[in-house]
Structure 1
């Protein structure tokens, strides 16, 4: 949401409030001269924000200041006790001398949704001894509620000790610094809500142990310390006032302390994503009668049910997350009849969902995640309120189960489903994402799927579907990702896809499509990935007649088809996203998916096909290999500087390699093999420091192989089949690389003569080294070697050096790839 621009000098404006304070026992309400107001306020009434009228429009001399909008005074004393300036386009700096801080009786202050960007929060805020509510959210402060305010700077510890402070929310401000108080928490006797989620107060995030004194605050009801680096064990928890405790995404360890059972009034308890260990029986929570939300996912615990008859989780339970907790059965949930969200993924559930669960949760369950278990069958039809269903990676067999019409997100990939897709799935008119990947589904793709206007993701790759692609995509379609890779589809790419203006990913590779290149797909303004590899596409790719096509394309894979004539120079001229390096490029996003679905695409690199998941937006790929392209490599390809993978191998390309390809500074894999290329390898290639895979084999290249940088790491197979190439790592020497013409140089010497001459030269050098210093002597030996007398030894030394360097480079490359994968994941 963009803010309008106001010239509102906050420092001068807040000086108005000095007149709210009066030192007499019965203060008189201030009167402000109209010229003073005009001097301090500059308001542009043409700019409107947040659908609120301007508070400042009522701030004039004709009425009492305590009647001004946003100002509330105490009726007995006349002191200003509340000030609401939210969403009022305030711009400027609140420094320590601002008269705002003279409002010593202020109880509520709201400066939210303004623009104080690049300014620190003053420590003077800590002097509001009567303050009970402070809201600076979405105020763009550089550094109290301050949720997601992009605050930075030092938080004064006195903030934590304000005696009347009831709510402190500093969540998701990653640039804060300061110290987390470990004592004097008792002075915060009024504190009710404390939210320090994802706050960088000590180090990168809050760390160390959680002070037990926090759990002793008498009025504290809400404690949120998730997404930090707290470690160690939880100490005694004595509070019975806490209603909500969120300690998820930390590094807490040890067994769950029995003192958790003292939280008899807690309704929300989240300990997910920590390092807790040991067995946790369901009876552990027997005293938490009001529990409505419980999260224990992704620890190292085993959730057991030893006392099946005596206790189950309470009926009040609404939200349960027990992912990766070694859960084996559902009996402990028999009494939980109000469940809305259930996550039991990555467990050991087998068989099928019990009948009592179907009846208990028929009308309540909204989200169900049973992925990565061993379920063999499910019945989804009884659930009337399900919106999100995740059954990926189970052992489900038989036909595709049809979810209720309320379903919006349906993930059931990587199972053993077979048969045709039932037509009743088209009744899911609210469907947003459908993922049927890696099953054994057969038959045609239902044409009616193209009529679901809400559908954003349709993923059916790696099945056995036949027939044609849907031709019924309507104008205004929401489709963003269509992946039908690895089926048996025939026909053409349907032109109805031109109606899908939101489409970002189209992968129909490894099918039997028979068509020419669908240049009209270039009219899709958001298309980032186009893969039509391994089909029966043919003909030439002609110069496009439309301007500004494929403006955002970053992955183009047309490999293993039958395209002919020259490489598409006219197409390369239009690929804007490949011609500029954009570090801010974002991945395709799917709102409402809760992170469930991530695009993937099959890419051939290093000779192997691999799926790139989640990070596909980081890669820029052109793969035109295994076609029938002829002519020369156009020099314009060197302008595609954002490319990471370039593969034009196994074609009929002729002529020289253009030196412009040396400008591809980000290229990691370059494959020009199996063509008819001639001439030398451009010396500019030596500057490709990101290059990891390099293949020029089976061409007609000649001359010296460039040396230096990454070229030290490539082996013989990168150059084989080019009889005219010389230089390392090949056996034919080149120029001054100390391997030149080795056989000719030593051909006049037999082994015995060579050894004798070597010994003479060695001792000459050794004696000189004894008299003049070992370094000089060895240098002379090296000189004699390099002048040609001992070329066979020179070759051994150089090759040994090359192997050492190559091993070192490989190690560095592995380390770099390891770091890169970790960062991308």
Structure 2
């Protein structure tokens, strides 16, 4: 029974429970309300149960755990509350468990069993507490784990790195804390493509060993396949919200489109590992609002497909690497509020960034924060050309001026020089001084008369 995207209202009809041979019950994006019926657990043949994007309330019925053939359970984006029944971890056939954006409380199931078929677990946007259950390590087929926007209180689950197919790890906006400790394992997170640890309290240095093992981010692969849910990709598509280019964006078919590292709003210290430059498939890198120090690694210039790079609100110093100017795919750059200095690199994309990308770095010079930079070939060339043009104009002006002066006053100049020579040779300089004083007196009197005349003229005009 597929009733997607209709205007169905009211409660889920009770007759549904009488359809004992029903395999698919899909009613997302309607206006259903009320509780999820307990009797749904009696439909033993049910494989797909999808009722997301409705107004369902109440608790999740524990009877659903009796559905031994259930493969996709999607009750996300409702108003469900209460705890997740612990028995849900024992549904060995379950591939998709989506309860995102409800009001669920309590802890996560702790009994995920060996041999679990779970591929996607999405509990984002609830009020769950406690630790991340270690039994998730039994879910060897897990590809998507989104526990973001809850109240989980734990350290970084490095042990999840043993999951060979994990592609999305989203733990944003929890109470996770402490350093990310490196592991001695040779293979860690080999297929990870999205890691979002933002808005937590992780601290200390960024472990180089973590990034060294992210093989899934080291090659640009356009042939990545979506998860193969036995219930059919028609019924369920993974999606995740990523922060890119300063905006929140919900991305569908995430496993083939985006490669993201978001470590923003934590307490990380130390330097940015240069090994990040090996992750050439990265499209979004966000390390803003931390305590990172040192220089921006030159190796970041290798991120040829990066679209969004945010290193703002750290303590980075030194110059911006010239290598970043060669990034032709970058559309969003934020290096503001650091201690960067020197000339801003110039390139096709850097010419599109505004002052806000570089605010709070008093030592930076060049476009767009200032008119030019000594090391900027373009600015220096333009300055040299304009200076030469000004010099030529000034030279032409003074040549014309002196030609006119000599032509117009040549004869008078000769007579004046002859008189001065005669006075100096006869020693009669007192006479010359009296002439100069009389001339100055006459000039002053004429100026005063002129000013009085102008004042009288203005007064008459005002009266009119």
TM-score by length of 2: 0.79
1:727 pairs with one of 366, 370, 379: 366
**Residue pair 2:130, 2:154 contacting (<8 A) in 1 also:** yes
Question: Would you say 1:374 and 2:7 are equivalent positions?
Answer: yes
- Aligned mate of 1:386, from 22, 25, 31: 22
Contact 2:300 2:324 in 1 (8 A): yes
Shift of 1:411: 0.8
Question: In structure 2, how many angstroms separate the alpha carbons of the residues matched to 1:598 and 1:478?
Answer: 17
Q: In 1, are the aligned partners of 2:193 and 2:255 still within 8 Å (CA)?
A: no
Q: Distance in 2 between matches of 1:741 and 1:651?
A: 39
Indicate yes or no: 2:64 matched with 1:425.
yes
Q: CA deviation at 1:594?
A: 4.9
Q: How far did residue 623 of structure 1 move?
A: 0.6
Asked if the contact 1:732/1:741 (under 8 Å) is kept, the reply is: no
Question: C-alpha separation between the residues in 1 aligned to 2:233 and 2:96?
Answer: 14
- Asked whether the equivalents of residues 689 and 710 of structure 1 are also in contact (C-alpha less than 8 Å), the reply is yes
1:470-489 mapped onto 2 (5 Å cutoff)? 470-489=109-128
1:739 Cα deviation after fit = 5.2
Task: State the partner residue of 1:395.
Answer: 31
Q: Distance in 1 between matches of 2:378 and 2:208?
A: 41
Q: Quote the offset at 1:742 in angstroms.
A: 11
TM-score (norm 1): 0.45
Per-residue CA deviation, residues 452-508 of structure 1 (Å, 9 max, x unaligned), is 110000001111101111111100000000000111111111011011011011000
State the Cα distance separating 1:741 from its structure 2 match: 13
1:400-799, aligned counterparts within 5 Å? 400-402=36-38, 403=40, 404-735=43-374, 736=376
Per-residue CA shift, 1:771-811, capped at 9, x if unaligned? Answer: xxxxxxxxxxxxxxxxxxxxxxxxxxxxxxxxxxxxxxxxx
How far apart are 1:616 and its partner, in Å? 3.4
CA deviation after TM superposition for structure 1 residue 580, in Å: 2.2
8 Å CA contact 2:167–2:255 kept in 1: the answer is no
SS at match of 1:702: strand
Residue correspondence of structure 1 range 344-359 to structure 2 within 5 A: none
Determine the C-alpha separation between the residues in 2 that align with 1:526 and 1:555: 12
Structure scoring higher RCO (CA < 8 A, sep ≥ 6) equals 2
Q: Secondary structure at the match of 2:124?
A: coil
Displacement of 1:581: 2.2
Structure-2 separation of matches of 1:530 and 1:695? 24
Q: Is the 8 A contact 1:433 1:456 kept in 2?
A: yes
SS at match of 1:374: coil
**Contact 2:92/2:115 (8 A) holds in 1:** yes
Across the aligned residues of Structure 1 and Structure 2, the Cα RMSD in angstroms comes to 2.3
Larger Rg belongs to: 2
- Classify the secondary structure of the residue corresponding to 2:169: strand
Matches of 2:118 and 2:64, distance apart in 1? 17
Q: Give the secondary structure class of the aligned counterpart of 1:684.
A: helix
Q: CA separation in 1, counterparts of 2:3 and 2:220?
A: 41
Paired with 2:103 and 2:279, the residues of 1 have a C-alpha distance of 36
Partner-residue secondary structure (3-state), 2:225: coil
Determine the structure 1 residue equivalent to 2:436.
none
* Whole-angstrom distance in 2 between the partners of 1:708 and 1:558: 32
The 5-angstrom pairing of residues 37-56 of structure 1 reads: none
Question: Per-residue deviation at 1:737?
Answer: 5.6
The answer as to whether partners of 2:339 and 2:361 remain within 8 angstroms in 1 is yes
Task: Encode CA deviations 1:289-316: one digit per residue, 9 max, x unaligned.
Answer: xxxxxxxxxxxxxxxxxxxxxxxxxxxx
Deviations 1:546-571 (A, max 9, x none): 22111111111111110111012111
Q: Aligned runs of 1:96-135 on 2, under 5 Å?
A: none
Q: d(CA) in 2 for partners of 1:645 and 1:504? A: 20
| Count of residue pairs brought into register by the alignment | 386
1:419 Cα shift? 1.2
The 8 Å contact of residues 542 and 570 in structure 1, kept in 2 or not, is answered as no
Q: Could you say what secondary structure the match of 1:487 adopts?
A: coil
Distance 1:528 1:738, change over 3 A: closer
Regions of 4+ moved over 6 Å? 740-743
Q: What is the distance in 1 between the residues matched to 2:254 and 2:262? A: 18
For residues 257-272 of structure 1, the aligned pairs below 5 Å read: none
In the alignment, the residues of structure 1 paired with residue 348 and residue 207 of structure 2 have an alpha-carbon distance, to the nearest angstrom, of 31
In 1, Cα distance between equivalents of 2:230 and 2:247: 33
In 2, the alpha carbon distance for the partners of 1:655 and 1:552 equals: 30
Task: Quote how far apart the aligned CAs of 1:718 are.
Answer: 0.8
What is the alpha-carbon distance in structure 2 between the residues aligned to residue 658 and residue 478 of structure 1?
Answer: 41
State the shift of 1:392 in Å.
0.5
State the match for 1:181 in structure 2.
Answer: none
- List aligned pairs for 1:3-18, cutoff 5 A: none
